[in-house]
A and B are shown apart, each in its own frame.
Chain A
Amino acid sequence: MVAELTTSGDPGQNSRGNPLLTRVRPAHQFMRRPLVTLVGQRVALAVPLLMLVSALSYLLVSLTPGDAAVSILGPTAPPEAYDNLRHTLGLNEPVYKQYGHWLGQALQGDLGRSLFSGQAVSEMIVQRLPVTLWLIGGALLVSLIAGVGLGMLSVTGRFGLGRLADLVAVIGFAMPAFWIGVELVAIFAVKLRWLPAIGYVSPEQSLTGWLRSLILPVTALSLHGIAVLAKQTREALLDVLNSEFVHDARSNGIPERSILFRHAFKNIAPRIATVLGVQAVVMLGGSVLVENVYALPGLGSLIVSAAVQHDLPLVQGVAVCFTIFVVVINLLIDFICMALNPRSATW
């Protein structure tokens, strides 16, 4: 659902996705410098976005009853201890100054220190980032291949996979990723004992162990994406196959194979890429839950434990990191769509 509603609100789909809907422009309008404009627009959105997220968290912190000093020392320390710590942490200054200080540091890559471990936030993020990237990257890849495959098969009606597509759609749409995650553990780890229930093995330790530790989390995270992509692929394909150029290609003897795999495929690709981008953002949220189900040491489990511990610098740092992730994904999807669609390339 999430992906549907976000894409249905996503106008990019029109201009990128269905080339038939875009208006034909006279040739002389195609002389702009697209890349610069595009990057400019993205940055124009990304900078306020990052400011918003970080400033918002700072604002929230200032609203908190009790502050970091109380969180660290507990409620029973002597009063001068609080004052000293507040001074060290810069908590006596007004919020906007604290924020300005934090922002200056953040721009140099210093996101502060965890209130509990004392470790640098940026360091903790770098340590845990690969796990989340593998998880989301794997889930995106699986969603793409399985989703587009199911969508295409459901249109061509080959191999009787229509039912499988329906089943995946029902499960993917109706069951939350964390529930699927728990159930997958029950089936594949507890009952069948094929795969480890929880935990993460880094690829440096053992490549097979790493793969095995990722199979269940990736599956849990990707089912929703598969359902969304299958549905979108199906709708996009039906749109293209009903379009005039397909009719005319068929009228002139272009074989079905080529119509489906060459012409239709290339025309739906930008739309699929857009949906995939939206899914990537949705999966950020899902990864938080899935990482907790499988005890994966990624950013999602980091932000949850930080939230439980009231470790605000850490929460803030991870939130900013996630936001950067969204910005990068959107930019990537723009580039991909530009490469795939000859028209958007010149817009």
Chain B
Amino acid sequence: MVSSEDNMESPTRHATPVPGNLVTRLLRRPATAIAVLWLLGAVATGVLAPLLLPDVATQHAGDLASVRQGPSGEHLLGTDTLGRDVLDRLLVGSRVTLLGVVEAMIVVLALGLPLGLAAGYFRGRFDRVVGWLADLVFSVPAIIIVIVVLSVFRSNMLAAMCTLGLLQAPALMRVVRTATMSVTDQAYIQSARVSGLSGSYIISRHVLPRIAGAVIVQASLLACFALTAQTGLAFLNLLVAAPAPSWGGMIADGASVIIQDPWLIWPPGIAIALTIISLTQLSDALRDNITQAWAGNRPPRRAHHRTAHGPDPRPVDRSGSIEQDAALLSISDLSVVFDTPGGTVQVLRDVNLSLEKGKILGLVGESGCGKTITATSILGLLPGSGRVSAGAIRFAGHELTALSQRSMRRLRGREIAFVSQHPMSSLDPSFRVGSQIREAIRRHHDMTRREARHRTRALLEAVHLPEPQAVARSFPHELSGGMAQRVSIARALAGDPALLIADEPTTALDSTVQSGILDLLREITATRDTSVLLITHDLAVVAEVCDDVAVMYAGEVVERGPIATIFADPVHPYTRALLASNPHNAPAGKPLQVIPGSVPPPGTWPSGCHFAARCAFVRKECEAGVIPMIPLPGQRSARCIRHDQVSNV
């Protein structure tokens, strides 16, 4: 019923936690410790109770004069329909119940583990045959087949539970197979294979320890299923011959007198529930632990709620400087922080930008400099715990940092639109392109369906898509990257925005397609009077289309100004290094210059100049304190105290 891959969550793709620590880490959580205690206690009871209470298993009837007595001092959990002590039967019954689970699990592990390992390790034809068999067995209605077995081997629990184990083994096999595959994909296993280590050695030494967590997670879930099946079959009186007690049988006993006495089904029911909860708790804790350890210290994923609130849009104080009034977007001293368990981490510091109407501003820098965070703070969609801690974002008379979530929503798409880096994943894969653009149009304009349809066509034509009708009928996956990016731009234009933020719009595209998209952006600013904030790491892109440029480094704007002056005479060492390392500018025959070192991640910024550690011009005073943005002639500014020396080189 299924093909051969698996959707085990990502864990196995990354490194593995140390197993020794795992146990202690798990037990530190009280819920998990209690779960483990319960399971150990249940197993101990299953082993010991029948030895300590040898008569219970064969007792046909107790004191028939005192049947169905509620809990009392003499019978802590009361007596059953035949006057037998419920607690005794519960304790002794745990053996047959848990034994059934153990029998099934032994078969599951004995089949699933080696087959999964072999299929994942050797792959190829063996994997396909095993996979097909697993699909086959997996499609069998398990309980039904077990009942067939029980109709032949009456009350034979071993046969029944082994059959169940056989039918459940593929569920473990698949997980083992996938986990094994991702472990053996890793380079060190590959090199171990190449260097001639035997398969069994690699499997036992390198693979098994790494998949152990995934195996235990799946095995405990399968144990829950085996427990449900065991008790269910015992409930049907198919599994355990009277008078031997079992949890399922006790529920059947209670069910037969449910009208007279609602109590008797509770003790075995709670025992089953606690065992299942313990198993799931154990598996959840283990899974969390594995995923955490594997996920490492990845930053939180994009969240979808803006945390800032504020009053509705209000016009900005008009008495501001002339420069601010002329600008459509003006960011001043913007700082953004993330609240993490380890404290507040700053990701943007004193960012200043300004973008005029109909102009294109390039925001450049290496990855991790804060370009995208700048864009998302303009949109009011900072991920997770991110928030603006200081500064202002003025846009067309609004102070965006003070706007409520609701007013921000009204601005997005209508005033500020967004085009992302990955055109393919930017559009909803399940809707036709035309429907997505129409939705944006009708959101922003009061139009009938018919009008919206015409406008969709017009927009698709405006972004120079051939056969706009056919494109509108396509799903995103049917488009090429360049076409999808044009569609994204068309959607962004649906609300006639004054500002278009384009986050690396050409990075994911072929170089032949790139210039087409850049031409389009240029054309949009010219014909629609739309301003574009173009985020890129590619200086060639900036040189081709931008009017102004702002260079970012480690959360700061380090240099900004008109494109011609900055490119001709960069005064910040970082801008200089960026230009020198650009392959387009490199002189032929000489090795390409690279900037040594890497961008310091947020939280590790030095107190002085952020670039100091990688700078060729660094002096003692550079690291002494915060370097301010220094205004320079020609409407430019730079965050470098040695800018005159840099310029003169």
**Binding-face segment, B99-107, B219-227, B459-467, B633-641:** B219-227
CA gap between A209 and B424 in the complex, in Å: 54
The listed residue with most B CB atoms (<10 A of its CB), out of A4, A11, A256, A304, is A11
- Does B75 have its Cβ within 8 Å of any Cβ on chain A? no
B147 touches A304 (CB 8 A): yes
Closest to A185 in B: B258
Distance A249 CA – B265 CA, assembled complex (angstroms)? 53
Which stretch (A47-55, A74-82, A122-130) binds chain B? Answer: A47-55
Given known contacts A48-B136, A266-B431, A308-B238, A244 and B426 CB-to-CB distance under 8 angstroms? yes
How many angstroms from the CA of A281 to the CA of B411 in the assembled complex? 49
CB of B253, distance to nearest CB on chain A (Å): 11
Q: Smallest CB–CB gap between B342 and chain A, Å?
A: 22
The stretch of A138-146, A211-219, A319-327 that contacts the partner chain: A319-327
Q: Is A20 an interface residue (CB 8 A)?
A: yes
CB atoms of B272 and A241 under 8 A apart: no
Over the window 6-48 of chain B, the binary record of Cβ atoms lying under 8 Å from chain A Cβ atoms (1 yes, 0 no) is 1110000000000000000000000000000000000000000
A87 at the B interface (CB under 8 A): no
Chain B residues bordering chain A, tally (CB within 8 A): 98
Of residues 606 through 647 on chain B, the ones whose CB sits less than 8 Å from some CB of chain A are: none
CA of A306 to CA of B148 in the docked complex: distance in angstroms?
9
Q: With the chains together, A197 CA to B255 CA distance in Å? A: 11
Interface readout for B125-142 with A: 1 if CB under 8 Å, 0 if not?
000000010011011111
Given A20-B425, A247-B381, A254-B440, is A342 in contact with B7 using a C-beta cutoff of 8 Å?
no
CB-based contact B495/A252 at 8 Å: yes
Question: Interface 1/0s, chain B 194-228, versus A by CB < 8 A?
Answer: 00000000000000000000000010011011001
Distance, CA A52 to CA B414, complexed state (A): 62
Q: Is B52 interfacial (CB 8 A cutoff)? A: no
Which of A92-100, A158-166, A167-175, A199-207 faces chain B? A167-175
> Which residues of chain A are near B237, meaning CB under 8 Å?
308
Cβ contacts B216-254/A at 8 Å (1 or 0 each): 001001101100110110011110000000000001001
Give A331's nearest chain B residue, CB to CB.
B1
A252 touches B417 (CB 8 A): yes
- Within 8 Å of chain A (Cβ to Cβ): is B605? no
Whether the Cβ atoms of B259 and A289 lie closer than 8 Å is no
Residues in chain B near residue A248, CB distance under 8 A? 418, 420, 426-427, 488
Most buried by B among A7, A179, A247, A250: A179
User: For chain A residues 207-257, which have a beta carbon within 8 Å of chain B?
Assistant: 241-256
Q: A182-B251, A252-B494, A342-B430 are in contact. Are A5 and B413 (CB under 8 A)?
A: no
Partner pick for B430 among A11, A19, A42, A63, CB 8 A cutoff: A19
- Please encode chain B, from 316 to 329, with 1 for each CB lying within 8 Å of some chain A CB and 0 for all others: 00000000000000
Among A20, A254, A307, contact of B148 (Cβ-Cβ < 8 Å) = A307
Residues of A within 8 A of B301 (CB): 242
Kindly identify which residue among A6, A61, A186, A254 contacts B258, using a CB–CB cutoff of 8 Å.
Answer: A186
Contact of B232 among A17, A176, A263, A267 (CB under 8 A): A176
Contact A5 B171 (CB under 8 A): yes
CB of B429 within 8 A of CB of A251, answer no
Chain B: which residue is nearest A175 at the CB level?
B273
Q: Is B412 an interface residue (CB 8 A)?
A: yes
Bound CA span A223–B136, Å = 28
Is there a chain B Cβ closer than 8 Å to A83's Cβ?
A: no
In whole angstroms, what is the CA distance A63 to B641 when docked?
Answer: 92
Q: B140 near A303 (CB under 8 angstroms)?
A: no
A46 to chain B, nearest CB (A): 8
- Contact A174 B277, beta carbon cutoff 8 Å: yes
Query: What residues on A are CB-neighbors of B510 within 8 Å?
Result: none
CA distance A263 to B625 in the complex (A): 49
With contacts A2-B228, A306-B151 taken as known, whether A253 is within 8 angstroms of B304 at the C-beta atoms is: no
> B235, B269, B429, B443 — which one has the most chain A CB atoms within 10 A of its CB?
B429
Q: Is the C-beta of A14 less than 8 angstroms from some C-beta in chain B?
A: yes
In the complex the two chains form, is A307's CB within 8 Å of B147's CB? yes
Closest to A284 in B: B141
Interface residues of A in 281-331 (CB under 8 A from B): 281, 284-285, 288-289, 292-293, 303-304, 306-308, 310-312, 315-316, 318-319, 322-323, 325-327, 330
- Asked if B3 is an interface residue, CB under 8 A from chain A, the answer is yes
Q: Bound state CA distance, A130 and B152, in angstroms?
A: 27
- Tell me how many residues of A have a C-beta within 8 Å of chain B: 98
A118 at the B interface (CB under 8 A): no
User: Per a CB cutoff under 8 Å, which of B139, B236, B428, B444 touches A292?
Assistant: B236
Q: A308 to chain B: closest CB distance in Å?
A: 7
| Contact assessment for B258 and A319 in the assembled complex, using a CB-CB cutoff below 8 Å | no
Neighbouring A residues of B135 by C-beta, 8 Å: 45
* B174, CB-defined interface residue at 8 Å: yes
Contact with B along A255-287 (1 / 0, CB 8 A): 110100011001100000000000001001100
For A9, give its contact among B136, B170, B259, B422 (CB under 8 Å). Answer: B170
Q: Which 10 A-B pairs have the closest CB atoms?
A: A253-B413, A285-B143, A251-B418, A307-B151, A11-B5, A19-B429, A253-B412, A174-B273, A9-B174, A1-B224
Interface residues of B, Cβ cutoff 8 Å to A: 1-8, 132, 135-136, 138-145, 147-154, 170-171, 174-175, 218, 221-222, 224-225, 228-229, 231-232, 235-238, 251, 254-255, 258-259, 262, 265, 269, 272-274, 276-277, 279-280, 301-304, 379, 381, 409-414, 417-418, 420, 422, 424-431, 436, 439-440, 443-444, 475, 477-478, 480, 488, 491-492, 494-495, 501
Other than the known A176-B228, A176-B235, A178-B235, what 17 A-B pairs have Cβ atoms closer than 8 Å? A1-B224, A1-B225, A5-B218, A9-B175, A11-B174, A178-B255, A248-B427, A251-B418, A253-B413, A253-B444, A258-B443, A262-B431, A285-B143, A288-B232, A289-B235, A322-B141, A330-B1
